[in-house]
Amino acid sequence: MANSAKTNTPPTGVGLLGLGVVGSAVANAISQRHRSVDPAVSLNVVAAVVRDASRKRDVTIDSSAISTNLETVIANPEVGIVVELMGGVDPAFGYITSALKAGQHVVTANKEVMAKHGSELLATAAENNVCLYYEASVAGGIPIIGPLMNDLTANKIQSVRGIINGTTNFILTKMAHEGADFNDVLAEAQALGYAESDPTADVDGFDALYKISVLARLAFHTEVPVDVIHREGIREVHAKDFRYASELGYTIKLLAVAQANADSGLLARVHPALIPLDVPMASVNGVLNAVEVEGDLVGPLWFQGPGAGPNPTASAVMGDVLRIAKGATNDGGSSSVPESFAIASMSDHECQYYIRLTASDRPGVLASVARVLGDADISINSVLQKDTDTENGHADLVIMTHPALENNMQSAVRSIKELDTVLQLDSLLRVETYGDRS
């Protein structure tokens, strides 16, 4: 067990696992500025573990403290707080577990490990009377875990809904404002360092999925395994869809949502959605993140800010580190009465849909599509016919439906694809419901 946990003196020695983008910012915050913010606390970086110790780094800690030797951090009696900033599950999960078992407090920014193994890690922390804090794992610099864990515990949370992936929001904002295609904007995002060379985690919705899993567990006291969360990324969103959505009064964002009620249970979903242009979420642009929380006592709350970047993320990490350095202890979790929900199925989700088809430009086409939708109990709200290609006899048909069940929509989609008047079903997007309008 680490010394400080034995003596009950708040720990001051920090061990870093990872010294990359966030790790370097955290190391610099500890060595350069935390005393000017809080003179009562005197932290120091005892050791940092990396993959390649010979790499040149822009950090103000002594190079002799940087190594590949895990033992300089885990179970080192000088280290009371382990800050895990490596990312991924393996080896982070094992390292965090070992630190907690050794009586070291842990702070992590790792959404994937907290989504996949959070309950187990939190239980290990409780068994060992140490803290496991993870504010930076969701929405970077925005304080959202702390409010859900502390300030909002008197509420029954009804929904948590957000734009929690900055890369996709940057891409979708550019597509909306410049009419650019997905692949061109992705290449630009990669050149600017906003997207990884392998963009899968962001553009296919995994990153947002991990984050909504973490938020849903906290908000609804319910385990939401990552494989029960509905996930769609943004690769299938086209420049045309922004144009048509805007004519209809909407924009398109990648939303992560967890909503619960006693009857239907808890549904978590990540997908691109049409958002009315006059709600605040529609104006969250570029790499910004935003989270909207609705509680039964407090009503709707709105959090917005930088969802990534070295300093905003270090702000969240350091907040957790300083809480521990000021004597925070593991109190066994929140004091509210846990209410656990059954997991709802996406097939029972109800919303309006936006459908874009390439269809033959001839009489009877709309009637045939309307018949298929009607047979699936779906009625049409409005129709636009656009971009008629007289030479080839094609046109874009954009249909907005009234609210319909996902299950019915998926069966209608299968039938629409079989119609000989429909050349292609190009887009199927859900419309997010806000208040009593949609």
Catalytic residue positions, numbered? 211
Contact status, residue 122 vs residue 132, Cβ threshold 8 Å: yes
Q: Which secondary-structure segment (H or E) carries 175?
A: helix 166-178
CB of 198 to ligand NAP, least distance (A): 13
Work out which of 50, 186, 344, 378 binds ligand NAP, going by CB under 6 A: 50
Piece in contact with ligand NAP (CB under 6 A), picked from 80-88, 240-248, 249-257, 265-273: 80-88
Question: Applying CB under 6 A, does 20 fall inside the site for ligand NAP?
Answer: yes
**Whole-number minimum distance, CB 214 to ligand NAP, in Å?**
12
- Compare residues 18 and 276 and give the one whose CB is closer to ligand NAP: 18
- Candidate ranges 16-24, 36-44, 123-131, 409-417; the one touching ligand NAP (CB under 6 A): 16-24
Which tokens belong to 419?
């119609």
- 3-state SS string for 239-285: HHHHHHHHHCCEEEEEEEEEEEECCCEEEEEEEEEEEECCCHHHHCC
Helix H or strand E segment including 310: helix 310-325
**What length is written for the chain?**
438
Task: Of 344, 416, 419, give the one whose Cα is nearest residue 378.
Answer: 416
- From the list 103-111, 153-161, 344-352, 396-404, the region that binds ligand NAP by CB under 6 A is 103-111
Please tell me whether residue 51 binds ligand NAP under the rule CB under 6 A.
yes
Q: Which of 5, 308, 378, 422 binds ligand NAP (CB under 6 A)?
A: 308
> Of the candidates 111, 115, 79, which has an alpha carbon nearest to the alpha carbon of residue 98?
79
Residue 109 touching ligand NAP (CB under 6 A):
yes
Joined together, the tokens standing for residue 394 give: 């094609």
- Residue from 72, 76, 104, 110 in contact with ligand NAP (CB under 6 A): 110
Of 30 and 429, the one with the shorter C-beta distance to ligand NAP is 30
Residues 130-149 that bind ligand NAP (CB under 6 A): 136, 140
Closest-approach residue to ligand NAP (CB): 20
Distances (CA, A) of 201 to 100, 166, 285, 302: 28, 12, 20, 26
Candidate residues 10, 15, 18, 118; the one interacting with ligand NAP per rule CB under 6 A: 18
SS3 228: helix
Binding mask 313-352 for ligand NAP (x = CB under 6 A): x---------------------------------------
Q: Is the peptide bond before 363 cis (omega within 30 degrees of 0)?
A: no
Asked if 107 is part of the footprint of ligand NAP (rule: CB under 6 A), the reply reads: no
Asked whether position 21 contacts ligand NAP by CB under 6 A, the answer is yes
Distance CA 267, CA 253 (A): 19
Helix (H) or strand (E) holding 323: helix 310-325
Minimum distance from CB of 317 to ligand NAP (Å)?
A: 8
Check residue 49 for interaction with ligand NAP (CB under 6 A).
yes
CA 164/CA 134 separation, integer angstroms: 15
Tell me if 55 contacts ligand NAP by CB under 6 A: yes
- Total residues interacting with ligand NAP, rule: CB under 6 A: 23
Least distance to ligand NAP from the beta carbon of 84, Å? 8
Q: Is 89 in the site for ligand NAP (CB under 6 A)?
A: no
Q: Which of 19, 163, 229, 431 binds ligand NAP (CB under 6 A)?
A: 19
Question: Which three-class secondary structure state does DSSP give residue 400?
Answer: strand
Among 52, 58, 198, 420, binds ligand NAP (CB under 6 A): 52
Tell me the two tokens of residue 294: 């609705």
What's the min distance (Å) between Cβ of 114 and ligand NAP?
9
Choosing from 2, 5, 14, 22, the residue that interacts with ligand NAP (CB under 6 A) is 22
CA torsion angle for 104, 107, 109, 110 (degrees, to 10)? Answer: 30
Q: Which residues of 224-234 are buried (b: 16+ CB within 10 A; e: fewer)?
A: bebeebbbbbb
Q: Which stretch binds ligand NAP (CB under 6 A): 4-12, 84-92, 242-250, 278-286?
A: 84-92
Half-sphere exposure of 240 (CA within 13 A, CB side): 17
Which residues of this chain interact with ligand NAP, rule CB under 6 A? 18-23, 49-52, 55, 85-87, 91, 109-111, 136, 140, 308-309, 313
